[in-house]
């Protein structure tokens, strides 16, 4: 039989490459039903050694902080002894199971520990965690790591606190977040809605209706007698945070405490005037969807009743953030595009070349999350208010209700009525995000115009059209509302917008909702992940201890501190930094340099803005990773 000619080989090679990719990147709809996720993680998608080393360094910080807290030794010499003894314990007493690769790594550490002790910067812990991570299938939640952390938890503090200062003792090495000093203020509470961990919740409203019957008196007590609800509604100065999606969720009990999930309504208003520095103010909170069940609270309801109500809003916001805004609408939103790109586009396809660096680590972190973090008994089950089944359903609903075309940043802002800088002058997330969006869009536009001259070129790109069809197909990515007529991509402008949204979500949007986990959510009294008192407490007089009992008990606080500090600390790669020689076309290189220059200009613009507003740094380009990898 004759061998195929070179031309025939060249013709069939791409077909073979894609077929191999399709066998490696199979869809699984049962991991977080019915979301499309990768089935078995392909080996090439594992975390890089550089990423693991960064994670090991952050694990060290959490480790030392927890060890000092639980062992109660604050002197540096004693801490060194504790670190050394702990490592020897987990190695020699069976906390780590025998694995050849792991033991080989640990054998390099033990002689130094035994003969020299541990160094002040605890590099040995870096090496320990790196060895554990690398040997456990590159999983950040491997059994070996869990064994170490469980061993570390011995002696942890327990129970509800009698005063907030007890929480501060959990931060002997990790710096206490700035929000710990001012989280109870109304100004910070309102500012969190526009510059916090979940800055996408408020919507402009004209009126409230019977569901949230705030009175004129209640409104004027906060906003002044020269203002009114009707005037604020007509002028576009009323904003509502509505957590109705949480109503009916099942309260969780894992690991041991009864937890409560709430579905509050929170009203905010912008003062009258034309001053561009007018900050939104909190006016009233109803801690459920039905006014007959719970009273409306205002700043005049009493110190602890108002603080209790604000905390219930934070709990609801945190639960929505983790399941919907963070997991659903960044991680699970981007995942199907990564799978479809591998399955339908060759490595040298222009769209594939542009997108793949923005998918680095995404399938790996999603796989690790669904198998451990958001699995029964995982961190989400332990920390969030609802049951793990409810949290997983909420994440799926969150991504399924997030239509692709509606998710464009300008469409999202317009839909919520928060795009007008005259009516809502101070909204740092909006203003900084738009800068990043426009810069990414210009870069994508410059890049695609090199490869596509007009709409016809886009329509005639068969591989691109197959990619688009698979992204939205029921047996494909299941991305709702993707594409134009019949799911095709018909115009160059639409392709530019689509790729801009994918890149923006994988970089800036994820940065905006991920990294505040450390900066804000690591101090649980400011942002509790669950409530531990029923909202019905508000039907009577609320005491200081009622408020403190609403907050997480100390063992839950330590777990929250450790987890969100870790998730909010790993900065691996940076927006605009593509691999060396990734693009060979000199025209692309020039366009990329313009993009990088624009990002540098945006960095300076945001820093200048922060001189005239409460600081918001989560969308500084220097703090935006290229991909979702943590």
3-state secondary structure 104-165: HHHHCCHHHHHHHCCCCCCHHHHHHHHHHHHHCCCCCCCHHHHHHHHHHCCCCCCCCCCCCH
Q: Are residues 55 and 96 in the same domain?
A: yes
* Strand 265-269 versus strand 281-286 pairing type: antiparallel
Within a domain: residue 617?
no
CA distance linking residue 578 with residue 331, whole number of Å: 20
Report pLDDT digits (tens) over 286-333: 999 999 999 999 999 999 999 999 999 999 999 999 999 999 999 999
Buried b (16+ CB within 10 A) or exposed e, 319-350: bbbbbbbbbbbbbbbbbbbbbbbbbbbeeebb
* Same domain as 147, residue 195: no
Alpha carbons within 13 A on the beta-carbon side of 89: 13
- The model's pLDDT over 513-534, given as tens digits with 9 standing for 90+, comes to 999 999 999 999 999 999 999 9
Place of tokens 């989280």: 183
Burial environment of residue 457 by CB neighbours within 10 A (0 to 12, 13 to 18, 19 or more): middle
322 in a structural domain: no
Looking at the fold, whether 271 and 195 belong to one and the same domain comes out as yes
Judged on CB neighbours under 10 Å (0-12, 13-18, 19+), 160 is middle
**Helix (H), strand (E), coil (C) string for 543-557:** CHHHHHHHCCCHHHH
- Final residue of a structural domain among 265, 295, 313: 313
Domain shared by 252 and 196, yes or no: yes
Q: How crowded is residue 425: how many other Cβ atoms within 10 Å of its Cβ? A: 18
| Per-residue confidence (pLDDT) for residue 85, from 0 to 100 | 67
pLDDT given at position 15: 85
Q: CA-CA distance, 267 to 262, in Å (whole number)?
A: 16
Cis peptide leading into 450, omega within 30 of 0? no
Domain that includes residue 106, residue range: 48-137+139-152
Quick one: 132 and 236 in the same domain?
Answer: no
For 332, which DSSP code? H
Tell me the helix, strand and coil percentages in the chain, rounded to 5: 55, 5, 40
What is the distance between the alpha carbons of residues 357 and 605, in angstroms, rounded to a whole number?
26
CA-closest candidate to residue 239, choices 90, 18, 366, 417: 417
Whole-angstrom distance, CA of residue 308 vs CA of residue 593 = 50
Is 145 part of a structural domain of the chain?
Answer: yes
Across 203-220, b (16+ Cβ under 10 Å) vs e yields: ebbeebeeebebeeebbe
Residues near 118 by beta carbon (within 8 Å), at least 6 away in sequence: 80, 83, 84, 87, 124, 125
In angstroms, the CA 390 to CA 376 distance is 11
Which residue, of 313, 341, 369, is where some domain finishes? Answer: 313
Global pTM value: 0.93
Q: What is the pLDDT of residue 78?
A: 56
Asked, for residue 578, whether it belongs to a domain, the answer is no
Residue 562 forms part of a structural domain? no
Q: Verify that 237 and 273 share a domain, yes or no.
A: yes
Residue in the block written with tokens 């803005």: 609
Termini Cα distance of the chain:
52
Query: DSSP characters for 224-247?
Result: -TT--HHHHHHTT-EEEEE-GGGT
The predicted structure's pLDDT at residue 66? 87
Q: What whole-number distance in Å separates Cα of residue 240 and Cα of residue 352?
A: 40
- Residues 305, 236, single domain; the answer is yes
Domain count across the chain: 2
Nearest to residue 567, comparing CAs of 507, 618, 630, 611? 630
Structure tokens given for 69: 């807290």
Q: Does one domain contain both 201 and 122?
A: no
Give the pLDDT score at 148. Answer: 63
Residue 47 token pair: 């975390």
Give the alpha-carbon dihedral of 366, 367, 368, 369, to 10 degrees. Answer: 50
CATH of the domain at 278: 3.10.450.60
The residues pairing with 203 across neighbouring beta strands, listed in sequence order, are 240
- Cα 409 to Cα 503: distance, rounded to the nearest angstrom: 12
Task: Name the token pair of 559.
Answer: 């777990």
- Do 148 and 189 lie in a common domain? no
Give CA–CA dist 488/118, Å, rounded: 60
Q: Count other C-beta atoms under 10 Å from residue 194's C-beta.
A: 24
Note if the bond before 34 is cis, omega within 30 degrees. Answer: yes
Task: Report the alpha-carbon distance of residue 536 to residue 292 in Å, rounded.
Answer: 12
Q: Under DSSP, is residue 532 helix (H, G, I), strand (E, B) or coil?
A: coil
Q: Identify whether 273 is part of a domain.
A: yes
Structure-block tokens of residue 120: 């002040």
Whether 146 and 194 map to the same domain: the answer is no
3-state secondary structure of 177: coil
Query: Does 250 lie in the same domain as 124?
Result: no
Looking at the fold, whether 145 and 182 belong to one and the same domain comes out as no
Of 313, 343, 366, the residue at which a domain comes to its end is 313
DSSP code for 285:
E
Q: What local confidence, expressed as pLDDT, does residue 426 receive?
A: 97
- 229 falls within a domain: yes
Spans in the chain with pLDDT lower than 70: 1-12, 72-129, 131-132, 134-151
Q: What is the pLDDT of residue 30?
A: 97
């Amino acid at each position: 039989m004759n061998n195929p000619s070179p031309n025939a080989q060249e013709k069939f090679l791409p077909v073979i490459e894609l077929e191999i990719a399709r066998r490696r990147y199979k869809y699984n709809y049962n991991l977080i039903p019915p979301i499309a996720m990768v089935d078995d993680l392909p080996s090439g998608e594992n975390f890089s050694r550089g990423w693991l080393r960064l994670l090991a360094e952050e694990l060290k910080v959490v480790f030392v902080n927890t060890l000092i807290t639980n062992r109660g030794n604050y002197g540096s010499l004693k801490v060194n002894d504790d670190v050394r003894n702990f490592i020897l314990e987990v190695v020699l007493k069976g906390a780590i199971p025998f694995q050849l690769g792991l033991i080989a790594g640990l054998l390099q550490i033990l002689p130094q520990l035994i003969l020299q002790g541990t160094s002040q910067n605890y590099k040995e812990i870096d090496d320990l965690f790196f060895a554990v991570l690398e040997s456990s299938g590159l999983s950040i939640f491997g059994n070996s790591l869990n064994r170490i952390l469980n061993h570390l938890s011995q002696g942890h503090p327990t129970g509800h606190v009698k005063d907030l200062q007890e929480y501060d003792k959990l931060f002997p090495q990790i710096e206490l977040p700035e929000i710990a000093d001012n989280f109870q203020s109304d100004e910070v509470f309102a500012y969190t809605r526009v510059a916090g961990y979940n800055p996408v919740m408020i919507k402009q409203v004209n009126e409230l209706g019977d569901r949230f019957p705030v009175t004129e008196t209640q409104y004027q007590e906060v906003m002044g007698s020269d203002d009114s609800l009707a005037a604020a509604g007509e002028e576009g100065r009323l904003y509502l945070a509505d957590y109705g999606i949480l109503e009916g969720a099942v309260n969780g009990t894992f690991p041991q405490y009864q937890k409560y999930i709430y579905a509050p309504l929170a009203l905010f208003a912008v003062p009258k005037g034309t001053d561009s520095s007018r900050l939104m103010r909190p006016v009233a909170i109803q801690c459920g969807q039905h006014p007959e069940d719970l009273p409306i609270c205002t700043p005049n309801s009493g110190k602890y009743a108002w603080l209790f109500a604000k905390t219930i809003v934070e709990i609801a916001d945190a639960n929505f953030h983790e399941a919907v805004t963070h997991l659903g609408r960044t991680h699970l939103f981007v995942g199907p595009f990564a799978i479809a790109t591998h399955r339908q586009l060759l490595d040298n396809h222009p769209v594939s070349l542009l997108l793949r660096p923005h998918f680095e680590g995404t399938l790996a972190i999603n796989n690790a999350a669904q198998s451990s973090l958001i699995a029964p008994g995982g961190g989400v089950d332990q920390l969030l208010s609802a049951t793990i089944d409810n949290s997983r359903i909420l994440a799926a609903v969150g991504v399924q209700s997030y239509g692709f075309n509606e998710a464009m940043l300008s469409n999202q802002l317009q839909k919520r009525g928060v795009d007008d800088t005259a009516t809502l002058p101070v909204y740092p997330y909006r203003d900084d995000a738009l800068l990043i969006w426009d810069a990414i869009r210009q870069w994508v536009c410059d890049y695609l115009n090199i490869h596509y001259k007009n709409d016809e070129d886009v329509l005639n790109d068969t591989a691109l059209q197959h990619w688009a069809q698979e992204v939205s197909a029921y047996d494909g990515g299941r991305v709702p509302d993707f594409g134009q007529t019949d799911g095709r991509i018909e115009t160059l402008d639409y392709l530019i917008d689509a790729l801009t949204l994918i890149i923006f979500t994988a970089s800036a949007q994820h940065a905006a909702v991920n990294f505040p986990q450390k900066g804000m959510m690591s101090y649980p009294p400011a942002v509790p992940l669950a409530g531990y008192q029923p909202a019905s407490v508000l039907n009577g007089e609320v005491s200081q201890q009622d408020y403190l009992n609403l907050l997480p008990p100390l063992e839950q606080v330590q777990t929250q501190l450790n987890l969100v500090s870790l998730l909010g600390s790993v900065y691996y790669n940076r927006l605009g930094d593509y691999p060396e020689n990734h693009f060979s076309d000199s025209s692309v290189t020039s366009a990329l340099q313009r993009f990088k220059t624009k990002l540098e200009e945006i960095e300076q613009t945001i820093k200048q803005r922060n001189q005239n507003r409460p600081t918001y740094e989560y969308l500084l380009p220097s703090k935006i990773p290229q991909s979702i990898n943590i």
